[in-house]
């Protein structure tokens, strides 16, 4: 996929760019359709939460991907979009957000963007590329909800919504093409590991199943799960919310990673 293949649809207001694009995906829209809105009246976040932002103060965008990939590896779509968004922030705001597992972008420990990936639910095992993955990003331009940050708080000059979108889609074109091969997906995962702000931290994870896990965030496994070293051994978490408690003492990290780190 090249940057020229993005088909960008613009909205003044829409309930949710993810919802709009999921509908188009169910109708058979091809990879590369992008929905961007000034405002969402029913924007959605992870784990059933709302995503709210005043008009024009947040990049609100969703992209449709149709990778030729096993279902277990579709999480790399989210990673590709998170990494491309982080790169665009570095390019335009001069600050490179890290990826807080599973897919928040953070500057220090403050969230600047959230990523929500959803599938059209097409049966796994269909023809290659038949599964649609809609990945939505909300990135705070000069909107700073409580406890979060914005690009404006870190950049020397204001960052425009459209220039951020262009930079993000430019980088994502190459990254999306990588998702069609095992080697490309492994490279994406390796990059995600390198830019993951959660690894090496002492964390408390509220799991999607309703439990809690506390320990050292040790690894992202091949399925994108966060492996937490706890007093009772390693626990791999597939979905949840993470609180970064503090950096792990170097000895504890070494013990968790082994002597070679
Ligand atoms: C999160 O951090 O919980 C994820 C937030 C994702 C928000 C974006 S805004 C564009 C797209 N449309 C939505 O309804 N949600 C995503």
Residues facing residue 35 across a β-bridge: 9, 62
User: What does the pLDDT look like over 130-151, one tens digit per residue?
Assistant: 789 999 999 999 999 999 999 9
Q: Are residues 55 and 146 in the same domain?
A: yes
What distance in Å separates the CA atoms of residue 205 and residue 43, rounded to the nearest whole number?
24
Output the residue whose Cα is nearest ligand 1's atom 15.
Answer: 44
- Mean pLDDT over each residue of the chain, to the nearest integer: 91
Asked which of 177, 195, 213 is the last residue of a domain, the reply is 195
* Residue pLDDT, tens place only, 202-226: 999 998 888 999 999 999 999 999 9
Quote the pLDDT of residue 256: 46
Ligand 1 atom at shortest distance from the alpha carbon of 17: 12
Q: Among 195, 210, 234, give the residue marking a domain's end.
A: 195
Q: For residue 160, is pLDDT > 90? A: yes
- Its sign, for the CA torsion 42, 48, 54, 58, is negative
5 has pLDDT over 60: yes
Dig out the tokens for 230 from the structure. Answer: 């706890």
Say if residue 171 is in the same domain as residue 246.
no
Q: Is 102 in the pocket of ligand 1 (CB under 6 A)?
A: no
Which of 145-148's residues contact partners 24+ apart within 8 Å by CB, and which partners?
145/52, 145/53, 147/110, 147/111, 148/110, 148/111, 148/112
* Confidence check: pLDDT of 41 > 50: yes
CA–CA gap between residue 257 and residue 261 (Å, rounded): 5
pLDDT higher at 205 or 259: 205
**Is the predicted pLDDT of residue 250 greater than 50, yes or no?**
no
- As to burial, measured by CB atoms within 10 angstroms (0-12 exposed, 13-18 middle, 19+ buried), residue 241 is middle
| 167/79 same-domain check | yes
Question: Pocket of ligand 1, candidates 35, 138, 164: which has the most ligand atoms within 8 Å of its Cβ, to mutate?
Answer: 138
Task: Supply 13's token pair.
Answer: 């207001």
Please indicate whether residue 136, judged by its CB atom, sits closer than 6 Å to ligand 1: yes
The rounded Å distance from CA 127 to ligand 1 centre is 28
Q: What domain range is 26 assigned to?
A: 3-195
Q: What is the mean pLDDT of residues 110-136?
A: 83
The model's pTM: 0.92
- CATH number assigned to the domain comprising residue 239: 2.30.30.100
Q: What CATH number should be reported for the domain holding residue 88? A: 3.30.930.10
């Amino acid at each position: 996929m090249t940057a020229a293949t993005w088909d960008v649809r613009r909205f003044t207001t829409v309930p949710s760019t993810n919802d709009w694009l999921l509908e188009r995906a169910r109708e058979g829209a091809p990879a590369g359709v992008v929905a961007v809105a000034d405002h969402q009246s029913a924007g959605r976040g992870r784990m059933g939460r709302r995503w709210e932002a005043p008009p024009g103060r947040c990049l609100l965008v969703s992209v449709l991907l149709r990778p030729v990939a096993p279902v277990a590896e579709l999480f790399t779509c989210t990673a590709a979009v998170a990494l491309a968004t982080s790169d665009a922030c570095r390019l335009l705001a001069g600050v490179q957000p890290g990826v807080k597992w599973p897919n928040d972008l953070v500057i220090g420990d403050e969230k600047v963007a959230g990523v929500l990936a959803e599938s059209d639910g097409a049966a796994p095992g269909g023809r290659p590329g038949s599964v649609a993955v809609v990945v939505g990003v909300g990135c705070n331009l000069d909107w700073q909800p409580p406890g979060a940050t914005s690009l404006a708080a870190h950049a020397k000059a204001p960052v425009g919504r459209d220039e951020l979108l262009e930079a993000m889609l430019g980088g994502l074109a190459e990254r999306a093409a990588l998702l069609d091969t095992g080697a490309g997906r492994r490279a994406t995962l390796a990059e995600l590991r390198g830019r993951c702000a959660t690894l090496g931290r002492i964390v408390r994870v509220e799991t999607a199943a309703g439990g809690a896990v506390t320990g050292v965030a040790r690894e992202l496994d091949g399925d994108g799960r966060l492996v937490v070293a706890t007093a009772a051994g390693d626990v791999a978490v597939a979905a949840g919310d993470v609180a970064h408690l503090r950096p792990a003492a170097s000895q504890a990290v070494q013990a968790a990673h082994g002597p070679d780190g």
